[in-house]
Structures are given as C-alpha cells and as structure tokens.
Chain A
Amino acid sequence: MKKKNPAFCHTKAFWMFVLPSLLLFGAFFLVPLGLSIWFSFTNYDGWKTMDFIGIKNYTSILTNADFYKTVTRTIIYTVCNLPFKIAIPLLLAALVTSSKLKGTTLVRTMIYIPVLFSALVAGITINWMFGQEYGLINFLLQKMGIEPLQWSLNPVLATVVISVASNWISAGYYMLMYVGGINNISKELYEAASVDGATKVQAFFRLTLPLLMPTTFIVLLLSTVNLLKEYALVQGISLGGPGSSTTYIVQYIFDQGFNQYRYGYASAAGIVISLLFIVIAMIQFKATKGGGEV
C-alpha cells in the first residue's frame, strides 16, 4: 500500500484551515476586484449600459486635471496628518502605561471610546459642533465675544476640523497597539539603562522608541491607508467642500460612480489609485525594512 506523503497531508490540513477565510476573501475581495477591473474597461452606468471601450477610461483619468488635483490634495492631507497619527497615540500610550498615572483603565477607556463610533456619525456630530451658523463652537466663541470662525468657508479651517476629527477617532486604536508594544519591552532593559545613568527621557528616546519600531511601522502603514481612504468622516463633516477643497480621492471615485453614474470611469480610477497605494505601501516597506530592522 502506498504511503501518504506527510508533506501532502500537511498541505491538505493547511488548506482545510484556510478554506473558510479564503472563501470569504474570494467572495468579498477578489471577485469585486475582478469585477472592478472588468468595469474599468467599459462604460458601465450601473444598470443598462455596459459596452467594452478599451482603455478610454484610463486615458480620460490620466488627462483629467481634477483627478490630479484630488490625488495631490489627498497626498498632502495624508502626509500632514501622519506625524499626528503616530505621535499622539504614542504619547498617549506612554502616558497610560506610566506607573504614576491613577485610574489607568478609565483613561484608556475614555481614549478608546471614539474608536467605537461610526465615522459617519462622528462626522455628523463634528459637523454640528463646527457648523458656521448654528454650531456649538461658534456659539461659544460668540458668547466669549470672539468673532465666529468660518469653518464651512475657509478650506484650511475645514481641513483642520477633519484632521482633528480623524485623529480623535483613531487615536485610541493606535494607542492600544503601542500599549501592547510597550508592555512587551523587557523591564530589565530600563533597569540597566537606569543603572547606566539614563534619564526617563533618554530611556524613552533611546530604548522605547527604537524597540517600538515594528509597532510604529504597522501604525504608519495602517494610518497611511486609512488617511488615503478617508471618506465617511469627510462626508459627515464637509461633504468635500467648500468647493472641492476637502474632496479626497475616495469621494471623487464615489461621486463619479454613484452620483454621476460613471461606474466604468470610477472603477478605472479605483484601479489607478489602488496601484498608487501599492507603490506607496512598497516604499514604506522598503524605507522601514518592513519594520523588522531598525
């Protein structure tokens, strides 16, 4: 009787384990991806029209000034927000892991609660708070004798509001990742540093920060992807306005697809943007050596 190859048995077990995930991944990611690629070569309008038009959508995107403006705006928004996405959770994590802090669990919970909010709900709430005419913030400013600010008219102020909201809603999530990272650092290292005369600040910069590089890499990667894909929050706060000053790339794609019924064009834009995102992620991998080496 022919003996079964152990390697084959292992492979079969492996596939049995991954099959459920693979099916879900295929149904909800790979199939839509395949459809998107197909739609991108058509003039699909979401219902009745779907003719093959070759690379027309791609040439149209690559010669569209609004597309480039939106991509540039998205990248600027991402780059400007990234330092805060890393620094704020890191500092919060350092705070909540400090032995000097009282009520650690309460503080951690308070910081984490915004993560549980739907981005759209948070956006609408922020929109109400920063409303130009009937908003809470302008009401308070006026009560204090200060001129109300033009949150809805000034592109910089509108972007600041979105950025603050984005950091507020995500800080708790990244903070937890850093807390896990900090807790994994051996206490002996700090004791050794202390014996060598290192101050707390020196220990933070020379020990904590370098040893948290793998965590920082993950936070950097996730933050980049999430900032590039910022949608629900913006939709709730500013609807991409004033004008198109807070319209980022996912809103642009959504608008082309679902408001202007250019599903083909929007799919092509999605593919182009996905490729751009991959390039950005690869650069991050390369620059940080996957977070594995410092």
Chain B
Amino acid sequence: MRKMLKKTMAGVMMMSLASAALAGCGGSSQSGSGATTAAAGGSAGPISGQTLQVMISEEPGEGDALGNALKKWSEESGNEIKQIIISHDDMLSKFPSMAKNNDLPDLVATTRLHQLYPEEFVDMSSVLDLSKFNESALKIVGKSYSSDAITGIPDQYTTTCMFYNQDAFQTAGIEVPTVENPWTWDELYENAKVLQEKGGVKYGFAADVSRARYDILMYANGGSLVQQDGDTFKVAVNSAENVATLERFVQANNEVMPKAIWAGGTTDNPVEYFKNGDAAILLSGSWNYNTFTTEISKFAFGVMPTPKGSAGQGAIIGGEALAIPANGKNVELAKQFIQWLFEDEHYTEFLQIRKEPSVMNDISYVPDTDKAKEDFAIIQNETNYVTDTFMVDESSSWRTYKDNEYRDAIKRAVAGEITPQEALDGFAKALSESSGWAVAN
C-alpha cells in the first residue's frame, strides 16, 4: 500500500511539474469587448492631472523621439507619463494577459498587436484625419490584418537598408556601389570575401536575424511566400527560386558571414559586430541610422543601395505604430496625445530627432549634414524597391498563421541540420496546414 502510494504521488508530482508551467500562464478564452464602442465616443475637452500609461519596446535612450514627445506633451498638458517597457516579441504574450486581467496600458507602441487583434484597438479614423498620412505607411504599418480598419497610427516608418564600413572599403580598395550602379548579390558576396582578406574586418557581411531581412534576397530573386489564387492564396515559399536563394544564403554564411548568428547558436547581435568594426557590410534597417551616428566613432560608415538579384532589387518597409487599447483606462487621454503628436509642429520636431522617413504627406525629415543628406537619399530610394510580390505576401497576412517557424527553418538550414529544400518544404507544409492554402509547387 505504501509502495503504491509512493508511486502514485511521484507520478502525480511529475505530471504536475511538467504541466504547471504551461497552464499557469493560461487563462480563460474570453476576450475584451469591441473597439468601436470606445472609439465612437465623442472627444472630451483637454484632460489634465491624469496618468498616461505607455507600453514601449525598449528603454528610452539618447535621441528618443517618442520619449521626448511624451515628456513635452506631459509638461504642456499637465498629465503624468508612466512607461512600461516590454520587448516587441514579449508584447505578443503579455498583451493578452493584460487584456484578460483588465490591466491594459493606455497607449502601445507596437509592430503587430494592433494588426493581430484589431478589435481590441481604437479605429484611428475616429482620432485623426488619415488623408494627411502616407498611404503605404498606413496600409503596411497601421492596417489590421483582417479588415481595412487602421488600428494603429505609424510613428516609425522604416525600410531595410545596407550599411557599410567606409574605412574597410578604402583599405580593401573597393568602390562603393551607387544607386545608378548597384551591385548584384553575387558581387556583394565576392566583395565581402575581399573585405575579409584585405579590409581588416573579420566578416565581410552580416545580416539581422530576421526573416524580414532575409526576405529581401528572396524578393530580389523573384520569389515570394505566397501567390494570389483568385480570392485566396497558394503557398509558394518552397519554389525553386526560393530554394536557390536559401542555398546561396547558406553558402554565404559558411564563407563571409558570422555563421553562428544565423545558425542560432548565439544571442550575439550582428548590429554590434558592425558597430565594433568586425563586419564590413550590414543588412539591417533605417532605424539604426540615428544610433550609428551617435555610437560609431571608430570608423566612418555610410549607406549603400541594396544589391540586385535575378529579378531586381528588393526592400521591405515596415515600422511601429501607436495604438490605443479600446479597453484602456484613459482612452480619451491617449487620443489627445496622438492628436497632439501629429500636429505639424510637434511631428516635425519628432521626425528631426528620429531621422527617418515621414509618415505624413507634407512633412519630411531634413538631414543636417551633406553626408546625412546623401545617406538619407539612398534610404529614401530603398522604398522604391518594394516589390509587388511583397505587397501580395502582406495582403495574405500569412503571419497570422505561422511566423517564427519560417525563421527557425532558415536557421536549421544554415546550421546544416536540414537542407534548404527540406527547410522550405517543411515550412510550406506547416503554413498550408495552418492556413488552408494549397502548396503551389
């Protein structure tokens, strides 16, 4: 009997221990009420003496445009600001918990929440005159995945771009490509080898561990994740051109890139490799420009045009939006901040600090030096390389079905665990099962 009891208790404990972690973080399936009710409310007069809770993704640093705007608004309006810092990835799991516990912030600076859960956010057409805003920015950064509602107003509009170490290029005797005469991807890999040999850098090329960065190679080679099929889509991620692109990327990782980063064995950030002068070329995004100007002092850096693939050049635009949770405690206060921020005078100041493309039609960032003007012209030009295939992929909202699995499949291919064909076939199958779309190939 005692033996039996001992065994049973051990069994129950084992089962409980393995299950507790999961269920402990679970909860009910009830969701918050719809956004429209709150959004439809009439605008109140200026509010003061309240606290605006803002959820942002990182600790505000030097040159923090949003932090500066919040501080200024707080002083002008007589309201307090309370910042909650949660990374963009963690927001995806924390926000549902906050919603379930009725503990939502008043304002969220997010890359995806408003698109994934549009019914939880205020429709921005009830807050601002959206005709003043850049249509692409609204469509790609602000729009819900499941409807045409603009549930977030872009505060950051970014594009992928390539940074280069000017000193390393000079040392290696390599001429910088121009907008009129860009490199091909093969030329980039060849020059990366030369930079490794003669440029005094450890790696010729590094890229952020992000499928959005990797995808510009795919789009440049004519590939896409899905194809339009009447009113629906077909999964095209494992097409022959995509497999070839991944094979070349794996090879580049073995030859000219810090392989451990894309193989997933380290938490090292390639941006740091570039800043430390260990990588000569960095595929990242325009959001780094401001940081680089203040943090890179060891060498001169610049921005170069994205190389061409077999189908042309590719770029991905994206960014961050400010969204107002419909069930937040101070919805009106959040609306007043948004309206204040996008007044011409305030947004102009905001943009000059942020040093990025504008989301408003009549306002643009004016760089203060000739070098910055040159770089910014290249960054602005990158937005012309956004392909139709990217727009189709975005319109499918494929990320609502599968997302991180795509990057993980690429990582496993880079690590040599599976072949590029197996990696993309596996993801195509998973996306097809999850979305109900047929596989095209």
Residues of chain A touching chain B, judged by Cβ–Cβ distance below 8 Å, are 28-33, 35-37, 39, 44, 46-50, 127, 131-134, 150-153, 158, 221, 225, 229, 238-245, 250, 253-254, 257-261, 263, 266-267, 270-271, 273-275, 277-278, 281-282, 285, 290
Partner of B29, one of A47, A273, A275: A47
Partner of B16, one of A29, A150, A285: A29
**Is B321's CB within 8 Å of the partner chain A?**
no
Q: Are B268 and A33 in contact (CB under 8 A)?
A: no
Q: Are B260 and A266 in contact (CB under 8 A)?
A: no
In the assembly, what is the distance between CA of A242 and CA of B416, in Å? 9
Q: Are B100 and A152 in contact (CB under 8 A)?
A: no
Q: Which residues 360-374 of B sit at the A interface, judged by CB distance below 8 A? A: none
Q: How far is the CB of A233 from chain B (nearest CB, A)?
A: 14
Q: Which residues 235-274 of B sit at the A interface, judged by CB distance below 8 A? A: 258-260, 263-268, 273
Residue of B nearest to A124 (CB): B267
Given known contacts A32-B23, A281-B10, A153 and B31 CB-to-CB distance under 8 angstroms: no
Q: Are A225 and B268 in contact (CB under 8 A)?
A: no
Q: Are A263 and B22 in contact (CB under 8 A)?
A: yes
How many residues of chain B have a CB within 8 Å of chain A?
53
**Is B6's CB within 8 Å of the partner chain A?**
yes
Partner of B11, one of A47, A221, A278: A278
Q: Are A158 and B265 in contact (CB under 8 A)?
A: yes
Which residues on A sit within 8 Å (CB–CB) of B13?
29
Residue of B nearest to A127 (CB): B267
Most chain B C-beta atoms within 10 Å of own C-beta, residue among A32, A47, A238: A47
Known contacts A132-B260, A133-B258; 13 additional CB pairs below 8 A are A28-B20, A33-B16, A33-B19, A48-B29, A49-B29, A153-B260, A153-B263, A241-B265, A260-B402, A260-B404, A277-B18, A285-B6, A285-B10
**Is B278's CB within 8 Å of the partner chain A?**
yes
Q: How far is the CB of B242 from chain A (nearest CB, A)?
A: 19
Q: Which residues 414-434 of B sit at the A interface, judged by CB distance below 8 A? A: 414-418
Q: How far is the CB of B16 from chain A (nearest CB, A)?
A: 4
Q: Are B10 and A240 in contact (CB under 8 A)?
A: no
In the assembly, what is the distance between CA of A49 and CA of B417, in Å? 34
Q: Are A258 and B25 in contact (CB under 8 A)?
A: yes
Which residues on A sit within 8 Å (CB–CB) of B61?
none
Which residues on B sit within 8 Å (CB–CB) of A36?
19-20, 22-23, 26
In the assembly, what is the distance between CA of A198 and CA of B23, in Å? 55
In the assembly, what is the distance between CA of A28 and CA of B278, in Å? 49
Q: Give the secondary structure class of B's interface.
A: helix
Given known contacts A133-B258, A152-B265, A241 and B18 CB-to-CB distance under 8 angstroms: no
Q: How far is the CB of A234 from chain B (nearest CB, A)?
A: 12
Given known contacts A47-B29, A258-B25, A245 and B417 CB-to-CB distance under 8 angstroms: yes
In the assembly, what is the distance between CA of A134 and CA of B269, in Å? 11
**Is B17's CB within 8 Å of the partner chain A?**
yes
Q: Are B96 and A244 in contact (CB under 8 A)?
A: no
Q: Are A132 and B266 in contact (CB under 8 A)?
A: yes
Q: How far is the CB of B4 from chain A (nearest CB, A)?
A: 11
Q: Are A47 and B405 in contact (CB under 8 A)?
A: no
In the assembly, what is the distance between CA of A30 and CA of B405, in Å? 32
Residue of B nearest to A266 (CB): B22
Given known contacts A28-B20, A242-B264, A290-B3, A33 and B259 CB-to-CB distance under 8 angstroms: no
Which residues on A sit within 8 Å (CB–CB) of B6?
285, 290
Which residues on B sit within 8 Å (CB–CB) of A132?
260, 265-266, 268
Q: Are B16 and A282 in contact (CB under 8 A)?
A: no
Residue of B nearest to A278 (CB): B11
Q: Can you give 7 A-B contacts (C-beta < 8 A)? A: A31-B23, A47-B99, A48-B117, A241-B266, A270-B19, A273-B18, A282-B11
In the assembly, what is the distance between CA of A267 and CA of B27, in Å? 13
Q: Are A243 and B412 in contact (CB under 8 A)?
A: yes
Q: How far is the CB of B192 from chain A (nearest CB, A)?
A: 17
Which residues on A sit within 8 Å (CB–CB) of B21?
250, 254, 270
Q: Are A133 and B7 in contact (CB under 8 A)?
A: no
Given known contacts A49-B29, A131-B266, A282-B11, A270 and B22 CB-to-CB distance under 8 angstroms: yes
In the assembly, what is the distance between CA of A171 and CA of B29, in Å? 43
Q: Are A239 and B31 in contact (CB under 8 A)?
A: no
In the assembly, what is the distance between CA of A290 and CA of B403, in Å? 46
**Is B15's CB within 8 Å of the partner chain A?**
yes
Q: How far is the CB of A121 from chain B (nearest CB, A)?
A: 14
Residue of B nearest to A66 (CB): B426
Q: Are B19 and A267 in contact (CB under 8 A)?
A: yes
Partner of B263, one of A47, A243, A275, A282: A243
In the assembly, what is the distance between CA of A50 and CA of B402, in Å? 18
Which residues on A sit within 8 Å (CB–CB) of B117?
47-48
Partner of A242, one of B27, B265, B405: B265
Which residues on B sit within 8 Å (CB–CB) of A37?
19
Given known contacts A134-B268, A229-B17, A257 and B22 CB-to-CB distance under 8 angstroms: yes
In the assembly, what is the distance between CA of A221 and CA of B13, in Å? 12
Residue of B nearest to A292 (CB): B3
Given known contacts A44-B26, A253-B22, A278-B11, A32 and B258 CB-to-CB distance under 8 angstroms: no
Q: Are A245 and B415 in contact (CB under 8 A)?
A: yes
Chain B 159-179, CB-CB to A under 8 Å as 1, else 0, gives 000000000000000000000
Which residues on A sit within 8 Å (CB–CB) of B264?
239-244
Q: Are B415 and A242 in contact (CB under 8 A)?
A: yes
Which residues on A sit within 8 Å (CB–CB) of B16?
29-30, 32-33
In the assembly, what is the distance between CA of A199 and CA of B247, in Å? 64
In the assembly, what is the distance between CA of A207 and CA of B360, in Å? 82
Which residues on A sit within 8 Å (CB–CB) of B31?
47-48
Residue of B nearest to A38 (CB): B23
In the assembly, what is the distance between CA of A225 and CA of B18, in Å? 10
Which residues on B sit within 8 Å (CB–CB) of A278?
10-11, 14-15
Which residues on A sit within 8 Å (CB–CB) of B260?
132-133, 150, 152-153, 242
Which residues on A sit within 8 Å (CB–CB) of B96?
46-47
Partner of A259, one of B15, B404, B412, B414: B404
Partner of B23, one of A33, A225, A254: A33
Partner of A133, one of B17, B268, B404, B415: B268
Residue of A nearest to B418 (CB): A243
Q: How far is the CB of A235 from chain B (nearest CB, A)?
A: 10
**Is B93's CB within 8 Å of the partner chain A?**
yes
Residue of B nearest to A37 (CB): B19
In the assembly, what is the distance between CA of A229 and CA of B22, in Å? 13
In the assembly, what is the distance between CA of A59 and CA of B176, in Å? 55
Given known contacts A29-B20, A47-B29, A263-B26, A238 and B15 CB-to-CB distance under 8 angstroms: no
Q: Are A243 and B416 in contact (CB under 8 A)?
A: yes
**Is B411's CB within 8 Å of the partner chain A?**
yes
Q: Are B26 and A39 in contact (CB under 8 A)?
A: yes
